[in-house]
Chain A
Amino acid sequence: MLRISRLVKRYGNGEPVLKDLDLEVPGESVVSIIGASGAGKSTLLRCINRLVEPTSGSILLNDLELTTLKRENLRKARRRIGMIFQGFNLVDRLTVMENVQCGRLGYIPYWRAALRRYPAEDIERAFQLMERVGIAHYANKRADELSGGERQRVGVVRALMQDPDILLADEPTASLDPVTSRQIMELLQRLANELHLPVLINIHNVSEAKEFTQRIVGMRFGRIIFDGKPDDLDQDAMDSVYSGTSEDKKASAPDTDKVAT
């Protein structure tokens, strides 16, 4: 259960990128977040695992307040938040297995990481998950030798290795071709069901959002202006998400989200 209330993020002294945002995601639901570039989608996701520091507001994950965590507690909380990136963000020069084990680095003692002595049960779990997504035969390949779709599967397995309470996917399919993109969306949807995970997906492809998720959240200039079932997202709703009102435009057009890609 994720509960975000009155979340504000402001870069420097500019117009806030997120404005008093409220969002509630009960367990096991797959939520798509749509919106034009600069709407604040990436910032929202990155505030949850504190890659971006929220300016004010509250983010509760299973009753744990994330916004006030410091150092060691933040690190421990991050272990339970899996993230999947648009650019995959794998360590290019490490093997697939080592990239997958990166998801466990927060759990194992420093010496084990330094000497690459991964616990046997982590290795077993990694093989299971890699078999599940069809990349087990690449275990010893270097990550940069894989194709885009295969790399994103590694990214997904890395996040699942964390044994996460929630999965954040920041435009996971934007760097992929249409066919691979659908495969990854399908995979995310099925994994969410199998593992009973809430999943937040930032996505530009509205038809994929409608097809693979049960709930769509539309953002515009740092606010949620649509929240409903895929069927409720009609042309009017699309227009308001992607063109905005003139009043909003005048207020926020000049500042574009620095983090959003």
Chain B
Amino acid sequence: MSSNTTTATTPRQWRKAPFIANPWLRWGLLIGFAIYAAWAITTLPFDWARISEGMERAARIFGGAFPPNFDRGGLLLKGFLESLQIAILSTLLGLALSVPIAFMAARNIAPLPIYLLGRILIIVARSFHPVIVAILFVKAVGFGPVAGILTLTIYSIGFVAKMLAERIEEIDWGQVEALRSTGTGTFTVLQFGVLPQIMPRQIGLSIYQLDSNLRASAVVGIVGAGGIGSTLMNAFGRYDYDFALAITLVIIAVILVSEAISGRIRKNIW
């Protein structure tokens, strides 16, 4: 591939080196992937008849959904307020648990056994998608917002504790050393040496998580964990497509607003 045939008279050539240097590997991967894609497409059971039938059904649903029906605004508002409740409570609960777990899971301040425990808690909290966790909690504590709150608390821990632990591992150690050298006790060192350094990230993560929980609360509601998601599911179940569209529009509007607010706040403190 490489030909170093430069002489004084010909202009020197330069070409960007390929991403994968070994030509056999490079072409092998490309061809292998093309073969797999072709095989995957040809073996999938595409039933065109059913797809066209589905299209008809979809058209009927959308036809029934227009115009959106806001008549049952009270029900909509109730579902939405419940979602907000779920989001706020689960964020508070999740944050209260995330901060100590984050300190446990930061290698630079926690001893090894505590570090491992903290990391395991985070990994467990992150392993399952909130919908799966919600299904478990709905089975365990029944339909309704409690299942939603528990689900999103775990979801919050998985994200906030992990990000915060990473921030703690990046702190300026000099500030901690300065406090230790004055004979300050361990917990006071954490409060004065570590906490101020991670505070901007902590606030940013909290707002992001509130935003994220509000969105997720609509999703976990679909499997029965309360909130606007449950309202939406009920509307679908009763073929009230116009009401379902109204709910969907409200969800989109709320998420747009909350995203704008949280984006603005985070920009100002990050």
Quick check: is A201 within 8 A (CB to CB) of the other chain?
no
Q: Are A92 and B180 in contact (CB under 8 A)?
A: no
Bound complex: CA of A103 vs CA of B183, how far in Å?
A: 8
Bound complex: CA of A82 vs CA of B188, how far in Å?
A: 18
Q: Are A105 and B188 in contact (CB under 8 A)?
A: yes
Q: Are A106 and B177 in contact (CB under 8 A)?
A: no
Q: A51-B177, A85-B178, A102-B178 are in contact. Are A91 and B184 (CB under 8 A)?
A: no
From B6-14, B191-199, B216-224, give the one contacting chain A. Answer: B191-199
**Whole-angstrom distance between the Cβ of A20 and the nearest chain B Cβ:** 25
Interface residues of B in 167-190 (CB under 8 A from A): 172, 174-175, 177-185, 187-188
From A30-38, A73-81, A119-127, A226-234, give the one contacting chain B. Answer: A73-81
Question: Which one of A49, A89, A110 lies within 8 Å of B175 (CB-CB)?
Answer: A89
Classify the interface of chain B: helix, strand, loop or mixed. Answer: helix
Interface size of A by Cβ–Cβ distance < 8 Å?
A: 32
**Whole-angstrom distance between the Cβ of A109 and the nearest chain B Cβ:** 10
Q: Are B174 and A89 in contact (CB under 8 A)?
A: yes
Q: CB-CB < 8 A to A90: which residues of B?
A: 175, 178
Bound complex: CA of A162 vs CA of B187, how far in Å?
A: 19
Q: A51-B180, A105-B179, A113-B192 are in contact. Are A93 and B185 (CB under 8 A)?
A: no
Q: CB-CB < 8 A to B181: which residues of A?
A: 49, 51, 78, 81, 83
Question: Which one of A82, A89, A106 lies within 8 Å of B185 (CB-CB)?
Answer: A106
Q: Are B182 and A78 in contact (CB under 8 A)?
A: yes
Q: Are A75 and B185 in contact (CB under 8 A)?
A: yes
Q: Are A93 and B196 in contact (CB under 8 A)?
A: yes
Q: Are A162 and B182 in contact (CB under 8 A)?
A: yes
A-B interface contact total, Cβ < 8 Å: 82
**Whole-angstrom distance between the Cβ of B172 and the nearest chain A Cβ:** 8
Quick check: is A87 within 8 A (CB to CB) of the other chain?
yes
**Whole-angstrom distance between the Cβ of B233 and the nearest chain A Cβ:** 46
Quick check: is A251 within 8 A (CB to CB) of the other chain?
no
Quick check: is A114 within 8 A (CB to CB) of the other chain?
yes
B173 and chain A: residue at smallest CB distance: A89
Bound complex: CA of A158 vs CA of B183, how far in Å?
A: 12
Q: Are A158 and B177 in contact (CB under 8 A)?
A: no
Q: Are B197 and A92 in contact (CB under 8 A)?
A: yes
Bound complex: CA of A158 vs CA of B192, how far in Å?
A: 14
Quick check: is A195 within 8 A (CB to CB) of the other chain?
no
Q: Are A91 and B196 in contact (CB under 8 A)?
A: yes
**Whole-angstrom distance between the Cβ of B264 and the nearest chain A Cβ:** 22
Quick check: is A94 within 8 A (CB to CB) of the other chain?
yes
Chain A window 158-183, contacts with chain B (Cβ cutoff 8 Å), 1 for yes, 0 for no: 11001000000000000000000000
Question: Which one of A92, A93, A106, A110 lies within 8 Å of B182 (CB-CB)?
Answer: A106
Bound complex: CA of A40 vs CA of B193, how far in Å?
A: 27
**Whole-angstrom distance between the Cβ of B174 and the nearest chain A Cβ:** 4
Q: CB-CB < 8 A to B175: which residues of A?
A: 89-92
Contacts A85-B174, A114-B188 given; 15 further ones with Cβ under 8 A?
A75-B183, A75-B185, A76-B183, A89-B172, A89-B175, A91-B179, A91-B196, A94-B192, A102-B182, A102-B192, A105-B182, A105-B188, A106-B184, A110-B188, A162-B183
Closest 4 CB pairs of A and B: A106-B183, A79-B183, A78-B183, A89-B178
Interface residues of A (CB under 8 A from B): 49, 51, 75-83, 85, 87, 89-94, 98, 102-103, 105-107, 110, 113-114, 155, 158-159, 162
A–B complex contacts, Cβ < 8 Å, 25 sampled: A75-B184, A75-B185, A78-B181, A79-B182, A79-B183, A83-B178, A85-B174, A89-B175, A89-B178, A90-B175, A90-B178, A91-B178, A91-B192, A93-B196, A98-B192, A102-B179, A105-B182, A105-B184, A106-B183, A106-B185, A110-B187, A114-B188, A159-B182, A162-B182, A162-B183
